[in-house]
Structure 1
Amino acid sequence: MLEDLPAFGRHHVPTASGAWRPDEPIMWLSCEVHGDVTVVSVAGEVDLSNAHLLTELLENVAGVRAPLVVVHLAEVTFFGAHGTEALVRARRLLNRRGGRLVLSRPSRVVRRVLDLTGTLAGFEVVSRFPPDAVDRRPARPVAPDTAGVVELSDS
């Protein structure tokens, strides 16, 4: 009986013929930390059904001390308005906390959607990856004050 269960994270969906096939994911996310740089890589389709996962990941990354977050978008094949919202929200959160959000090699699809929505100009875009190629300004320490508001430290 246990051998009949699908592998974790994999589901089976019916086809028109009545047979079952594995339901493959349409988006892949990965997150790596390299010192002061956090790299979030996105591949596949970012749409209404899954953009919340990107939003949650970016908010979690921005919620911890992350001076520089690089979002690698070269492998994105579809990018909807909800993906734009995820990037804009993460950029705002990082800016409030003294961090930076950088888009690395956005695919033509991503670049087009960001351009059409008028949000592309608000992002720092780099053409090289991995993060070692990112212009590394010295990270400024971030420290919460007694009210829980994050302020930049001069040290």
Structure 2
Amino acid sequence: MTLDLDTDGPVPLITVRGEVDMSTAHLISELAEHTIARRPARLVLDLSRVTFFSAHGISALLRTRRAAAGADVGLILRDAAPCVTYLLMVTGTRRNFRVATTRVDDPVPVGKRRTGEHSPV
């Protein structure tokens, strides 16, 4: 798994690529918590390039959500890969997150992706 943090724009963006499992999931919440400590208005996690997502990934997202809520930072999951959306749905944790596709201010329900639209946050 690799993580990229982009702080060039007004909204920090963490892009997650690869496999999120028991040996890597904690890195997501650690980087997110570091970013949340800077108190941005929002934090976006781009999960479009995740190729495997375990229950440890769900735990990392829930830890991140708690940290964001505690700091009054909006958390948005953007373009979650099918393996992520599946696990969010079957675990019942989907309702805990704002999930957006293509644009942060235009959330679309999971499974209702619009094809051909790809604009950066």
Equivalent of residue 125 in structure 1, options 99, 107, 110 = 99
Look up the SS of the partner of 1:60 in the other structure: helix
Q: Deviations over 1:35-58 (max 9, x none)?
A: 431100001000001112112111
- How high is the TM-score relative to the length of structure 2? 0.82
Q: Say yes or no: does 1:73 pair with 2:73.
A: no
Mapping of 1:41-80 within 5 angstroms? 41-80=15-54
Q: Distance in 2 between matches of 1:124 and 1:88?
A: 12
Where does the alignment leave 5 or more consecutive residues of structure 2 unmatched?
107-121
Q: Distance in 2 between matches of 1:39 and 1:117?
A: 25
From the two aligned structures, give the one with the greater strand fraction: 1
Aligned residues: 106
- How high is the TM-score relative to the length of structure 1? 0.65
Where does the alignment leave 5 or more consecutive residues of structure 1 unmatched?
1-26, 137-155
Structure with greater contact order relative to length (CA < 8 Å, sep ≥ 6): 2
Query: Which residue in 2 is equivalent to 1:23?
Result: none
Moved over 6 A (4+): none
Q: Distance in 2 between matches of 1:83 and 1:66?
A: 23
CA contact (8 A) 1:58 1:86 kept: no
Question: CA shift at 1:32, angstroms?
Answer: 0.5
Q: What is the RMSD computed on CA atoms of the aligned residues?
A: 1.4
CA contact (8 A) 1:79 1:109 kept: yes
Q: Distance in 2 between matches of 1:73 and 1:85?
A: 15
Query: Which residue in 1 is equivalent to 2:75?
Result: 101
* AA matched with 1:69: L
Q: Distance in 2 between matches of 1:102 and 1:63?
A: 16
Q: Deviations over 1:17-43 (max 9, x none)?
A: xxxxxxxxxx11000114431100001
